[in-house]
Amino acid sequence: MDRRSLLKWATGALSGLVGAAVAGPIVTFVGHPLGRSQRRSAALPVADLTSLPEGVPVKTAVILPLFRDAWSRFEKVPLGAVWLLRRGEQVQALSATCPHAGCFIDFEPKAGHFACPCHGSAFDLDGHPTAGPSPRPMDGLAAEVREGKVLVAFARFRQGLPNKEEI
Amino acid sequence: MLQAVTGVVMASCYSPSVTTAWASVAYLQDQMALGWFIRGLHSAGASAMIILLLLHMLQVAVWGAYRAPRELNWIVGVALLGIALGFALTGYLLPWDQKGYWATQVATSLMGAAPLLGPVMQQLIQGGTSYGHLTLTRFYALHVFVLPATTVLLVAIHIALFRRHGVTPSWRLSPDELERKRVPFWPDQLVLDAAAIALIFSLLAGSVIHTHGAALEAPADPTAAYDARPEWYFLPLFQLLKLFPGRAEIPAALGAPALIFGLLLALPFLDRAGSRSPQGRWRYLAVLLVLIVGAAALGLCAWHADAHSETYQKEHHRAEAEAERARRLALEGVPVAGGRAVFENDPTFRARRLLAERCLGCHIYSGTGEERGPSLDGWSSRAYLTALLHNPDHFYGHTPFHEMKPVTAPEPQIAALVEYVYSLGGGSVDRAQVAEGQALFSSLDCDQCHETDGSSSGQGPNLGDRASRDWLRAFLRDPSAERFFGKKNEMPKVGEKLSPEELESVVDLLLSERAKGLF
């Protein structure tokens, strides 16, 4: 190897070393969120059973008493909305997020069904799709009634898939 | 380059507002993967940049490279030094910690004291008459947009001019010798540059790993005293302020930098010596030398004074302890109010708030509350019990227990009695004193009113197990139980209104008062 190639090679090697020494930590730093998994929320009280009318969906917010978002610590943070449907002593909870593309599903009292305003998906009271592009039924959430309180375990699911896959 | 890359990466995790700046930097520093390393590189890189800039200027000065035709390039270089100091000044505030907050206050106050445009400039840069959200957003905009853009522009001009005029050759060489020594930039010069960069980077990385990154102090607090110090490169100026008291201070603080920059800018026009040889230009180089030595001496003076000042060292350690506490609490997330609200994560803070809500209607604690029941400062510590034996009415004078008489006995006996009563609640005690105190307890007729078995009732409260954790829990839940205040009780059942965690935090607080013994 002549002197000139050696110098070129040395320059490349030195630059590469410094570059790697900087790039390594930076990739680790920027990739930080990838290592974090979603923490499942516990069942949270959302309503009194007596406040729910029989057979008519009611929208409620699921509120987390304490929530951490990166450096902040929030109290009483709304996680999302659910549609509650009382059937006797049982309550069905459906996520208000459309499984198609994530829009907010509304209830149309006149038609008596759920409808997504974005792409026209419609669902019956059990959440089964009756029209539109939604690949699967509305996402059901675990709900229970304990001492007169309705508790819902909130969760998010990946959109656009035929199967319900929790994030 | 390093500053730009680490800066951009950090900006992906920085939130410039009074409520979030400190919290986001604490998160970056303590919770993001390798955040401490990247922030450390940025901070150490700033210092390295200043050092290298000064060395470069010195080299240019000695070589006489500022002289015609390169005057303009020298001026651009001096402007770049100003920009670098601007970076340092604006960057120092961004973490919104005690250090940055107070040190920058000094800088903006001085700016405001300048004649004519001073107050307007201060208000503009602060985004108001005092520090707030706008101060941070403006400093941030300066630090990440305005100054970098100016730097790129000036560096481009600097390099373009450099390419036009070429390298300034050594004054010793003749044109023929120069021609023989000519080497191509690539790869001959570049390999040297690469080696220098690698060396400097290794030093930086080494120092960052050694110090575990840059310091982050407790969140900014306009109400807390703080002994602010600027970054090392501003220390000479800081020391200068100490030397010029009173009315001379402002002219000195603003005049000295103005004079130095003025001198540097004027240098190419002052120096009209015939040759570029340093011997012929010794006058100008001597002025520079005096400036450098003077600045170094001032900086060393400031450093030396702090190193030997007990007050400063004490304050410094206190600030470090507070920073450590704030950052530990920030691991749980900072409450929305931000900054100082991190201390609300402290269980004792919550307990204090509960105490204020539930207890201070009747008790005094840390200077607030009502004096119906006994004070809670140093509750049941030895000092507290001693005072109680001397003057029970001071504690229970407004309660049905005002019947207790002061214990009249020599101090050693009081101390033994206190040790005995203290021992009933647990904790490390002096066994001999406890034995003596137990004997005195019956010989001084304390046992006429107080039982010590922890269950039966008497004229006064049963002292068995008194002030232990279990005792406190049970007492707070129901002070009217037979073994506590019984039928004479006037205290509400506070413990029943608290959640188990809340009760525990109040118990912890009272036990810490007992252990502290400050009274």
ipTM score over 0.95, yes or no: no
Residue A162 lies in a domain: no
Report pLDDT for B519. Answer: 47
Report pLDDT for B245. Answer: 75
- Supply A166's token pair: 């929790």
Averaged confidence pLDDT in chain B: 89
Say if residue B293 is in the same domain as residue B417: no
A31 touches chain B (CB under 8 A): yes
Report pLDDT for A39. Answer: 63
Summarize pLDDT for B158-211 with one digit per residue, the tens: 999 988 888 777 777 777 777 777 777 777 788 888 888 999 999 999 999 999
A29 touches chain B (CB under 8 A): yes
- Flag whether pLDDT at B452 surpasses 50: yes
A8 touches chain B (CB under 8 A): yes
**Number of domains, chain B:** 2
Of B513, B277, B266, nearest to B381 (Cα)?
B513
Which of B190, B332, B349 best probes binding to A when mutated, by most A CB atoms within 10 angstroms?
B190
Q: Cβ contact (<8 Å) for A72 and B334?
A: yes
Locate the chain B residue with the closest alpha carbon to A67. B333
Residue A166 lies in a domain: no
Q: Which residues of B touch A8 (CB under 8 A)?
A: 186-187, 191
Q: Cβ contact (<8 Å) for A71 and B32?
A: no
Residue B491 lies in a domain: yes
Q: Cβ contact (<8 Å) for A29 and B38?
A: yes
Say if residue A103 is in the same domain as residue A121: yes
- The pLDDT of B342-350, averaged and rounded, is 84
Return the percentage of chain B with pLDDT > 70, whole number: 99
Confidence bin at B518 (pLDDT 50/70/90): low
Report pLDDT for B111. Answer: 87
Q: Cβ contact (<8 Å) for A31 and B33?
A: yes
Summarize pLDDT for A48-85 with one digit per residue, the tens: 999 999 999 999 999 988 888 889 988 888 889 999 99
Summarize pLDDT for B310-338 with one digit per residue, the tens: 999 988 998 998 999 999 999 989 998 88
Q: Cβ contact (<8 Å) for B38 and A71?
A: no
* Lowest mean pLDDT segment, chosen from B57-66, B142-151, B462-471: B57-66
Of A166, A90, A85, nearest to A127 (Cα)?
A85
A20 touches chain B (CB under 8 A): no
Return the percentage of chain B with pLDDT > 90, whole number: 53
Chain A, chain B: beta-carbon pairs less than 8 Å apart? 90
Report pLDDT for B346. Answer: 84
Contact A96, B358 (CB under 8 A): no
3-state SS, B171-239, equals CCCCHHHHHHHCCCHHHHHHHHHHHHHHHHHHHHHHHHHHHCCCCCCCECCCCCCCCCCCCHHHHHHHH
Residue A161 lies in a domain: no
Q: Containing domain of residue B188, as a range?
A: 2-328
**Number of domains, chain A:** 2
Contact B476, B502 (CB under 8 A): no
- Nearest by CB: B188 against A7, A71, A74: A7
Backbone angles phi, psi at A75, to 5 degrees: -110, 145
For residue A146, count CB atoms less than 10 angstroms from its CB and return exposed for 0-12, middle for 13-18, buried for 19 or more.
exposed
Residue A55 lies in a domain: yes
Report pLDDT for A38. Answer: 62
Say if residue B7 is in the same domain as residue B123: yes
> How far does the CA of residue A37 sit from the closest CA of chain B (Å)?
15
- Nearest by CB: A11 against B20, B33, B194: B194
> How far does the CA of residue B355 sit from the closest CA of chain A (Å)?
21
CA–CA distance, B10 with B4 (Å, rounded to integer): 10
Say if residue A27 is in the same domain as residue A47: no
Q: Containing domain of residue A147, as a range?
A: 43-153
Confidence bin at A161 (pLDDT 50/70/90): very high
Q: Cβ contact (<8 Å) for B12 and A25?
A: no
A7 touches chain B (CB under 8 A): yes
Say if residue A82 is in the same domain as residue A148: yes
Q: Which residues of B touch A68 (CB under 8 A)?
A: 332-333
Say if residue B303 is in the same domain as residue B385: no
> How far does the CA of residue A93 sit from the closest CA of chain B (Å)?
30
Residue B453 lies in a domain: yes
- The pLDDT of B129-157, averaged and rounded, is 95
Say if residue B18 is in the same domain as residue B56: yes
- Nearest by CB: A18 against B6, B12, B198: B198
Say if residue A31 is in the same domain as residue A87: no
Q: Enumerate chain B positions whose Cβ falls within 8 A of a Cβ in A.
A: 2, 5-6, 9, 12-13, 15, 20, 23-24, 26-27, 31-35, 37-38, 41, 186-188, 190-191, 194-195, 197-198, 201, 205, 330, 332-336, 338, 345
CA–CA distance, A136 with B423 (Å, rounded to integer): 69
State the DSSP code for B489. Answer: -
Summarize pLDDT for A4-20 with one digit per residue, the tens: 888 889 889 999 999 99
Residue A159 lies in a domain: no
A68 touches chain B (CB under 8 A): yes
- Angstrom distances, CA of residue B324 to CA of B14, B25, B318, B328, B343: 20, 14, 10, 6, 12
Q: Cβ contact (<8 Å) for B333 and A21?
A: no
Report pLDDT for B422. Answer: 93
Residue A98 lies in a domain: yes
- Nearest by CB: B194 against A4, A14, A31: A14
Say if residue B322 is in the same domain as residue B366: no
Averaged confidence pLDDT in chain A: 90
Give the CA angle between residues B314, B320, B323 to the nearest 5°: 145
Q: Cβ contact (<8 Å) for B191 and A26?
A: no
Residue B127 lies in a domain: yes
Say if residue B73 is in the same domain as residue B155: yes
- Flag whether pLDDT at B284 surpasses 90: no
Say if residue A20 is in the same domain as residue A95: no
Residue where the block lists tokens 């003025």: B262
Confidence bin at A40 (pLDDT 50/70/90): low
Say if residue A29 is in the same domain as residue A71: no
Q: Which residues of B touch A28 (CB under 8 A)?
A: 33-34
